[in-house]
Every structure is written in C-alpha cells, then in structure tokens.
Structure 1
C-alpha cells in the first residue's frame, strides 16, 4: 500500500484557518491529540533537547524567527515551527542554518514514519494545525534537532504546540484578538496564553506589559515557581522588528548560562561563521521597490498601531497609502479608524478590499475596492509614495501575483 502524501493528507483535515469556525473551541480538548502522539512516542525527546514556546498576540512570528537564527549562529542544530504561512504550507516547518521551507523529501520522511506506525483512519480526526505540529515533532526528532522553536497558533492553553512541553516560554505583546475564543479582555487573553506553560517549563521571558497584566504575570510565575525575566516594551517611534531583535538578544544572553549549567550535553555542531539575523518573511517586508510596496500582517488594533508607528524609522521620508484586507471574524471598524486617521495625516489614500473572502469595515463603503482592481491601484504611486498592504496573511499572495 502506498504511503499518503503529507500535504495531500493534511488538505483533507479540518482547517480552521480556512473555515474560521472558531466555535469548535467551546468543546475542544488537547487530550485526543496528546493520547495519540504519546501512544507512539512521537514527541519523546530522543536526546537532551531545548524547546522554546513563543506565545502572544503580536510579534511572536518575528521573535520566533530571530530566536531560531540566534541559536543556529551559536552552533546548535535548530528547528523552527511557525504559522500561518504566506504562500506555501511548507514554510511552517524550517531547519537551520538557512531556514528554508521544509523540503519535499523531508515531508516524505515524516509520512513514512507516521504511516509506518499508524494509519489514515487513526490520524483522520486531527486538525490541519495539529497535523503540521505533529509533523514538526517527528521531523525535529528524526533530524536530531537540539534547539526547537515553536510559535503558538491561536492561543496557548489549548494550542497544539503546548504538547512540545517547552523548557522556556517567551511571551510577546498581548492584544485583543480572537476575543470570542480567548476572552474579551487582555487579562483573560494573557491567562489563556500562559496556559502553554508545562511542568517542564522553568523560565518565562516577557515584554513588560501594562500594570494589570504585569500583576497577573508575576502572580502566575510565583505560583508556578518560574523564573521571570522582563524586557522593556516597545517605545513609540521605533521599528518593532528592531525592538524584537533586541528582545531576542536579551533572551539568548540570559539562556546561554542556563544551558551551560542545566543542559551541559546539549549537542552542538561545528560552528560556521555567524551571519546577521535574517528578517522574517512578510513582516514589514519590501515586496517591490518600484512601486514601493510593503507588506505586514497587522490584523488587530494594537498590531495596526505598532506597524504604523514603525514606518518612519523603517522607511524614512516615505509617505504611504494603505490597502487593507480583513477577514470576516475581525473587528474591522476599530482598525479602519486607525488607518483613516493615519492616511488623513499623511494626505494619502486608503483602500479596503471587499469580496467574499475579505469583509469591508462597516461604514467604509466609499473606500472599498474589489481585489481585481488591486493591480491597477498599485501602479499609481509616485516617487515619494509607497503602499502599505496589511491585514490578513492571505493578502500576501494577492500582491505577489499583482506586481
């Protein structure tokens, strides 16, 4: 019998990123996924490992990429698991030192392992996200990856990546997003994110939050007997990518001593010349120079604010018009207000994609454009103007096609 293709099998599973039916979380439990992988030993650590969970509302993608690059530069075999993807689902699983999307032969190796020990019927209850998370567990162990970085998906307590049982948890900025699933306040969302902590977790790193959140964070770490390290939150006017690089440098500095004392046999490979940390794809990414088109996946009010504030330092002297596309479950009106205020100040243009896929913010009909007009609008910029395209990750494929 032929072994099912990894991506093809995954495409038949429930994919909440497509359906957006987050109501299923009302009855969701990690136990079936946990029982499955433990019955086969698919998350077992074959050797000493160092696993890092990165959680939060905003910034966790760039922090995850920077962490993986930093540990790879230190000479550790490093794996990176992130979500969502921009163009190809293979982007979610990456191996150092180059961190290119996982290769077809590696996916075939994952399938060989999974279907040699299980079958389609046993695996068919998994969600698409659980399937890819399982793939990362299996591949990282098969490839003998010493440092494994897992970016959480939607939450923390019920996130499939929780089963990595991280040694270290890295907390990024907390904002209001997916409130129907995670809670209506930042305090509730923080508690949900901190649920990713396991019995193996020893240290929490966090961007210092506002007072009410800091109180919850300190109480949580004290009760769990976790060491807490705080780093200053983002200052206004600074690029969030620069800030997140500094946050990661702080984390790595503190962890080097911890690893040398607590994980003395964590395996290193022959160290090559360290290279500058690559900027994560899709975050304030210049996808075209002429016309200047910048993409960022800011898709909640706090992320919108931080991205707009990052533009002057990241692109000095440039004036940006904005093209935004928000998915139906997003609170588009509050984000639209911030974007309109920015474009009025800049004396630039604002557009919202309106289609079956993208929801037009209520009251912003005069700013709407159909996706098929996107290419035409992108050609209207002058030498001093650029376009910032933001919102859903799905927009990335639109602009890559249209430029």
Structure 2
C-alpha cells in the first residue's frame, strides 16, 4: 500500500484556521489526541530533551523564533514549531541550523513513520493543527533534536502542543483575543494559557504583567512549585522586536546556567556561532523599499497598539499610511479606532480591504477598497512615504504576490 502524502492527507482534516468555527472548543478534549500519540510512543523522548512551550496573545511568534535561533547558535540541534504560516504550511516545522521550512523529503519521512506505525483510519479524526503538531513531534525525535520550541496555537489548556510536555514555559504579552474560546478578560485568558503546564514543567519565564495578572501568575507558580523568572514589560517607544530579542537573551542566559549545572542533560553537538539573531519573517518586515511597504500580522487591539508604537523606533523618520484587513471573528471596530487615531495624528491615509475573506469594520465604509484596487493603493503616491499592512497573516500573500 502506498504511503499517503502528508499535505494531501492533512488537507482533508478539519481546519479551524479556515473555517473559523471555534465553537467546537465547547466540547473539545485533548484525550483522543493524547491516547493516539501515547499508544504509538510518538511523543516519547528517546533521550533527555529541552522542550519549551511559548504561549501568549502577542509576540509568541517572534519569541519562539529568537529562542530557536539562539539555541542553534549555541550548538544545540534545534527544532521550531510555529503557527500560523505566511505562505506555505511547511513553514510551521523548521530545523536548525538554517530554519528553512521542512521540504518534501522531510514530509515523506514523517508520513512513513505515521502510516507505518499507525493507520489512516485512526489518524483521520485529527484536526489539521493536531496533524502538524504530530508531524513536529515525530520529526524532531527522528532527527534527535535536543532543543524543541513549540509555539502554542489558540490557547494552552486545550492546545495540541501541550502534549510536548514542556520543561519550560515562556509567557509573552497577554491580550484580549479569541475571547469566545479563552475568556472575556485578560485574567481568564492568562489562566487558560497557564493550562499548558504539565507535571514535567519546572520553570516559567514571563514578561511582567499588570498587578492583577501578576498575582494569578505568582499564585499558580507557587501552587505548582514552579520557579518563576520575570522580565520587564515592553517600555513605551521601543520596538517590540527589539524587546522580545532582549527577553529571549534573558531566558537563554538563565537556561544556559541551568544546563551547565547538569540539571538538564542535553547535548551540544553543533558548532557554536556568534551571528546576531535575524528578525523573524513577517514581523515588521520590509516588503518593498520603493514604495516602502512594511508588513506586520497584528490582529487584535493590543497588538495593533504595540505595532503602531514600534514604528517610530523601528523606522525613524517614516510617516505611515495604513492598509488593514480583519477576519470576521476579530474586533474590527476596536482595531479600526486605533488605526484611525494613528493616521489622523500622522496626517496619513487609512484603508480597509473589503472582500469575502476580510470583514469591513462597521462604520468604516468610506475607507474600504476592493481587492482589485489593492495594487494601486500599494503604489504609494509621492506625498506618502510608507504603508503599513496589518490585520491578519493572510494579508502577507496578498502583498507578496
């Protein structure tokens, strides 16, 4: 019998990122996925590993990227699992030292493991996200990856990456997003994110949150006997990428101290390099120099605010117009208000992409443009110095093609 293609098989599974039907989480349980994975030993550690879970509302993609590259530079074989992707789902699974997306041969290797040890029938109940998470589990173990970084998807308690059984939890900024699933307050959302902790988890790193969240965090760590390390939250006027890079340096320095004391017995098998940490793709990324176009995936009110505040330090002297596109389940009106305030201050233009995929914020019809006029908007006029594109990862393919 031929081995099914990894991507083709995955395309037939339920993909919540496309359907946006997050109501299914009302009855969701990790137990079926856990039982399947454990029945085949697909998350079993063949030797000691350092598995790091990265959770939060904003910044976890860049923090995951910086963590993976940092450990690779220190000489550890490192794997990185992230979501969502910008262009190609293969971007979600990456291996050191270059962290290029997995290739077709890698996917064939994953499929051979899964369909030789398991069956299509028992794998077919998985969701698309579970399928890719499982792919990362088996490839990282097959390739003897010492440091494994898993960016959580929607939450924590019910996130498929919880089955990595993280040794370390890294918490990024907590904001209000997916409230129907995670809770209506930041306090509720933090508790949901903390649910990714398992019995293996020993250390928590966190950006110091506001007092009400800090109280929850400290009480949780005390109850679970977890060591807590705090790092200052993002200061006003600083690029969030610069701050996240420094946050990761803080984390890696502490973990190196722990590893050197043989409290974590992972092997350093690669060459140590001293190259600076490259920026992650799709985060304050310069898409074009002429016209000057910057992309960022900010897609909730807090993230929008942080991205706008980062522009002056990341791109000094630039005046930005804004092009945004919001998915239907997002708080479009709240985000649109922030963008309107910004562009009024900048005396620049504001545009919202209006299509079947992207929902126009209520009351902002006069700022809408149809997709067929997108290329014209991106060709900025002589008076406009730059355009910031944000609101969804999906917009990346619109402006790169």
TM-score class normalised by the smaller sequence: over 0.9
Match of 2:144 in 1: 144
Is 2:242 the counterpart of 1:251?
no
> Runs of 5+ in structure 2 lacking a partner?
none
Superposed CA deviations along residues 114-140 of structure 1, whole A, max 9, x for unmatched, are 000111111000000000000000000
Match of 1:336 in 2: 336
Task: Give me the whole-angstrom Cα distance separating, in 2, the residues matched to 1:247 and 1:372.
Answer: 41
Match of 2:67 in 1: 67
Task: Give me the whole-angstrom Cα distance separating, in 2, the residues matched to 1:223 and 1:260.
Answer: 27
Match of 1:285 in 2: 285
Task: Give me the whole-angstrom Cα distance separating, in 2, the residues matched to 1:279 and 1:103.
Answer: 22
Secondary structure, in 3 states, of the residue corresponding to 1:25?
helix
Secondary structure, in 3 states, of the residue corresponding to 1:100?
coil
Task: Give me the whole-angstrom Cα distance separating, in 2, the residues matched to 1:215 and 1:44.
Answer: 34
Query: Does the CA contact (< 8 Å) of 1:381 and 1:387 recur in 2?
Result: no
Task: Give me the whole-angstrom Cα distance separating, in 2, the residues matched to 1:126 and 1:151.
Answer: 19
Match of 1:27 in 2: 27
Match of 1:312 in 2: 312
Secondary structure, in 3 states, of the residue corresponding to 1:101?
coil
**Distance change in 2, residues 1:265/1:203 (3 Å):** closer
Match of 2:125 in 1: 125
List structure 1 runs of 4+ shifted beyond 4 angstroms: none
Task: Give me the whole-angstrom Cα distance separating, in 2, the residues matched to 1:258 and 1:162.
Answer: 23
**Larger deviation: 255-264 or 343-352?**
255-264
Task: Give me the whole-angstrom Cα distance separating, in 2, the residues matched to 1:282 and 1:383.
Answer: 26
TM-score (norm 1): 0.98
Task: Give me the whole-angstrom Cα distance separating, in 1, the residues matched to 2:66 and 2:17.
Answer: 25
Secondary structure, in 3 states, of the residue corresponding to 1:206?
strand
The 5 A counterparts of 1:14-93 are: 14-93=14-93
Task: Give me the whole-angstrom Cα distance separating, in 1, the residues matched to 2:205 and 2:353.
Answer: 37
Query: Does the CA contact (< 8 Å) of 1:318 and 1:384 recur in 2?
Result: no
Task: Give me the whole-angstrom Cα distance separating, in 2, the residues matched to 1:71 and 1:270.
Answer: 10
The 5 A counterparts of 1:234-383 are: 234-263=234-263, 265-382=265-382
- Kindly state the Cα deviation for residue 268 of structure 1 after the two structures are TM-superposed: 1.2
Query: Does the CA contact (< 8 Å) of 1:319 and 1:384 recur in 2?
Result: yes
Secondary structure, in 3 states, of the residue corresponding to 1:266?
coil
Task: Give me the whole-angstrom Cα distance separating, in 2, the residues matched to 1:381 and 1:340.
Answer: 19
The 5 A counterparts of 1:122-201 are: 122-201=122-201
Task: Give me the whole-angstrom Cα distance separating, in 2, the residues matched to 1:143 and 1:111.
Answer: 14
**Distance change in 2, residues 1:272/1:218 (3 Å):** closer
Task: Give me the whole-angstrom Cα distance separating, in 1, the residues matched to 2:26 and 2:103.
Answer: 36
Task: Give me the whole-angstrom Cα distance separating, in 1, the residues matched to 2:264 and 2:140.
Answer: 20
> Runs of 5+ in structure 1 lacking a partner?
none
> What's the C-alpha RMSD, in Å, of the aligned pairs?
0.9
Query: Does the CA contact (< 8 Å) of 2:48 and 2:264 recur in 1?
Result: no
Task: Give me the whole-angstrom Cα distance separating, in 1, the residues matched to 2:268 and 2:70.
Answer: 13
- Kindly state the Cα deviation for residue 272 of structure 1 after the two structures are TM-superposed: 4.0
Secondary structure, in 3 states, of the residue corresponding to 1:250?
helix
Task: Give me the whole-angstrom Cα distance separating, in 2, the residues matched to 1:305 and 1:288.
Answer: 23
Task: Give me the whole-angstrom Cα distance separating, in 2, the residues matched to 1:363 and 1:58.
Answer: 27
Number of aligned residues: 401
- Kindly state the Cα deviation for residue 281 of structure 1 after the two structures are TM-superposed: 0.4
Superposed CA deviations along residues 213-239 of structure 1, whole A, max 9, x for unmatched, are 000000000000000000000011100
Task: Give me the whole-angstrom Cα distance separating, in 2, the residues matched to 1:289 and 1:349.
Answer: 19
Query: Does the CA contact (< 8 Å) of 2:93 and 2:102 recur in 1?
Result: yes
Match of 1:225 in 2: 225
